[in-house]
Structure formats: C-alpha cells, structure tokens
Amino acid sequence: MEKLEKESADEWYIFPIFPQFSYATSGLIAQFFSKTLDQSLVNKFFWTKSYGSHNSFVSLQQKLISDLLKKNNLQERDIFLIFAAHGIPNHFLQNGDFYESECQTSAKAILKAFPYALGKLGFYNFYFEKDNNNLLDICKNIKTFAKDRKNALLVPISSCLEFSKTTSEIEDNLCKVLKSQGINSFKTSSLGLNLDWVRSILNIIEEKNCVSNHMLTNAPAGLLNVD
C-alpha cells in the first residue's frame, strides 16, 4: 500500500479476477481501499465492475469447451454442462446482491454456442445453501437434469484463476459422485494466463467502461457492514 501511495499515476484501472460483480468480493475490496488509502488516491481508481457477459469472456469460455469436446471426441448432444461458481454468504444474497443473476447471465451466454447441449448453474457450497443450486446436489441428481446424457463438463465461470486446493478437492469429490451415477466427468481449464485472455483483458480495460471506487461501495443499506 505504501508503494501504491508513492506512485504518481493520474488514473488507476482495476480489473478484478471475479467476472461477476458481488459486494462480497469487489465491493469489500473497494471498501477496504476507501478505509485504508488516502482519498485523493482512491478518487483515481476506476474499476471494470463486471465482465461475465462480455463477448471476450464468453467467447473464450466457449472455445475452452469446444476444444475439450474435440480433444475427447465428445458429441454436443451427449453432454451436460455444469457451470460452477463460488457461493457467497447468504447475508449478501438476502440483502440485494445480484451476484447470482450475473452468474446466470454468464452461464446462459456461454450455453448459446451449444444449442444441442443441456446445462445448469451450480454453486460451491462454502456458503450457498439454496436447494437445487448446490453443485453436490446437482451431481447427485445428475440423471434428473442430464436426461440420458453420459458426459458432464464442469465449467468454472466465477474466477479467472485456478481454484484453490480446497476447491480442487471438492471438484474431485464431484467427479466421484458423477462416476457413481455412471456419468463421465470432464473439466475445462480456467482462463488463467491464456494469451488470448491476457490480450482480451487489455481490450476490455481500453474500452474504459469503468466505475469509480465510490460506486462499488454504494451498496444497499447494511450490506457491507461485515465483520
């Protein structure tokens, strides 16, 4: 933080690793900046609020899926896409956070490229306990959702980095559950340091469709009052 405050840039563009906006992620980070840094510096911060439905994000996710299908000789009519997103505390969902709807928008946009596939959005159950949206519940009841399809693709959509070891362990467990149901499981890679994605990040930033740090902290009453 000290190094940041010593820099003399006129503007700072912040690109979050979270494609879908939530007050539980980018909102709390923006609040931290407001409370920790000099206000004259914070006023120079400009955020890409979300990009989960941006064509650059969506098209690359679609490419990752297409590449996986070709690599494993899978047919679109025989796949079920499980769009995996991190859960957030219910406090945020119950008080006006629109993270879930942004994740739904991302999943629907990606699925459009695969008209013969089926798909469903699910959440890692760190916090999210909503019935039928828990990833484990989806996998346990996969035959209800996937009909007669024998291949399930896990598609992480809520972070551009590889998930943590804890999440990887959960994914391994999900694959075991799918296998017990007679379903073959596959997982697309994260965008990570994919060169096309790095170039896309620069393009998104250059569009300057940004909001101020203050806008990200302007949450519904009490939403950011988290210990």
List domains and CATH numbers for the chain. 2-51+195-217 (no CATH), 55-187 (3.40.50.1400)
Residue 18 to residue 1: CA distance in whole angstroms: 21
Residue 103 to residue 110: CA distance in whole angstroms: 11
Q: Which two tokens stand for residue 215?
A: 């806008």
The confidence score (pLDDT) of residue 80 equals: 98
- Which distant-in-sequence residues (6+ apart) come within 8 Å of 163 by Cβ? 156, 171, 190
The confidence score (pLDDT) of residue 128 equals: 45
The confidence score (pLDDT) of residue 227 equals: 54
Q: Which amino acid is at 115?
A: P
The strand order across the sheet containing 12-14 reads 12-14, 45-47, 211-212
Q: What is the CA radius of gyration of the chain?
A: 19
The confidence score (pLDDT) of residue 146 equals: 93
Cut 0.75: pTM above it: yes
Q: Give me the torsion for CA of 58, 63, 64, 69, rounded to 10°.
A: 130
Provide the b/e sequence for 166-194 (b: ≥16 CB within 10 Å). Answer: ebeebbeebbebbeebebbbbbbebbeee
Per-residue pLDDT of the chain (227 residues; tens, 9 = 90+): 667 777 778 899 999 999 999 999 999 999 999 999 999 999 999 999 999 999 999 999 999 999 999 999 999 999 999 999 988 888 888 888 989 999 999 999 999 999 999 999 999 865 544 455 788 889 999 999 999 999 999 999 988 666 555 567 777 888 999 999 999 999 998 787 688 998 999 999 999 899 999 999 988 776 777 55
The confidence score (pLDDT) of residue 165 equals: 55
Q: Which two tokens stand for residue 103?
A: 């994740």
